[in-house]
Amino acid sequence: MAIIERIQAEISGHPIVLFMKGTPQFPMCGFSSRTVGALREAGADMATLHSVNVLEDPEVRANLPRVSNWPTFPQLFINGELIGGCDITMELFESGELARMIAETQAA
């Protein structure tokens, strides 16, 4: 499977996908750690959160920015739509919008 198709399959195959450096249990950068913390505090089911460690998959790390048109990591997708990186995720968390988005996604 071509890398672009593989990335699209990851995004469309899971309601919440976080492309990050490291894993939710062991984030490997501060931005990924803050994003995971916001997801956890917003009520995301961490047992079912799908994450992709871009440090272990250089092809995904190199090609995801072309798919998403977003240059940095982490990248959060909900229901196939790019939400953004750490800063946007934190803004949504602080406004309460992230919790609403997660609740709707997990209820579906």
User: How many whole angstroms separate alpha carbon 58 and alpha carbon 7?
Assistant: 12
The whole-model pTM stands at: 0.95
**What digits encode the pLDDT tens for the residues 25-73?**
999 999 999 999 999 999 999 888 999 999 999 999 999 999 999 999 9
Query: pLDDT per residue over 19-29, tens digit each?
Result: 999 999 999 99
Q: Side chain identity at 70, as an amino acid letter? A: W
Euclidean distance between CA atoms 101 and 92, whole angstroms: 9
Distance in angstroms (rounded) separating the CA atoms of residues 44 and 16: 9
Coil, helix or strand at residue 85: coil
Q: What confidence score (pLDDT) does residue 48 get? A: 82
> Does the structure show a pLDDT above 80 at 1?
no
pLDDT tens sequence across 96-105:
999 999 999 9
The two structure tokens encoding residue 78: 């909900």
